Amino acid sequence: MDDIQRMRDAVFFEGPDVRGRLSRFWILIVLASVIAAAGIAADSTATVIGAMIVAPLMIPILGTMLSVVLADRSNLIRSLLLLACGAITAIAIGCRCTLEHFESDAAKPNGSQGEPHCPRQLEDVPLPSHNTEFDARRSSNDQVPNVNCVAA
């Protein structure tokens, strides 16, 4: 398989597996948005960074770049629409979750702020040590590249 076809398969939403790829894209957008909103509500930088890792918006960004280079108008339009719709979806979910958080705080007596409405267990996830080896491999069935962490 030549390099151009391999790149097309990695970043364009076309071919026989387009439905599965689009399903994974939208599921990951929703999950990343909810994780990011929970991280903002909990004032947890690590959780927000984790949401950025889960978010699949890099795929249509790379698709836009490749379609410009290849002068592929249909994939350019498709990638830009997917990018815009994904970003709008993430913003809408984030706004909705944030409004719920602030409305619940405003309803408390004396305007006191209680515990955030997100699981604190997200902050207790162990992170790899500073001496970590990353092994990035191409994965044909994932939206997000497969990254394996091996602590040394």
Q: State the amino acid at position 29 in one-letter form.
A: I
pLDDT tens column, 68-111: 999 999 999 999 999 999 999 999 998 888 777 666 666 665 55
Residue 74 lies in a domain: yes
What is the distance between the alpha carbons of residues 29 and 42, in angstroms, rounded to a whole number? 20
The DSSP element (H or E) to which 133 belongs, if any, is strand 132-137
**Does 19 reside within a domain?**
yes
In a domain, 38, yes or no: yes
pLDDT of the residue at 103: 66
pLDDT at 113 over 80: no
Domain of residue 115, residue span: 3-120
Q: Within a domain: residue 46? A: yes
3-state secondary structure of 17: coil
Q: Does pTM top 0.85 for this prediction?
A: no
DSSP structure class, residue 118: S
Give how many domains the chain has, as a whole number: 1
With a CB cutoff of 8 Å and minimum separation 6, the contacts of 114 are 105, 108
Residue 151 located in a structural domain: no
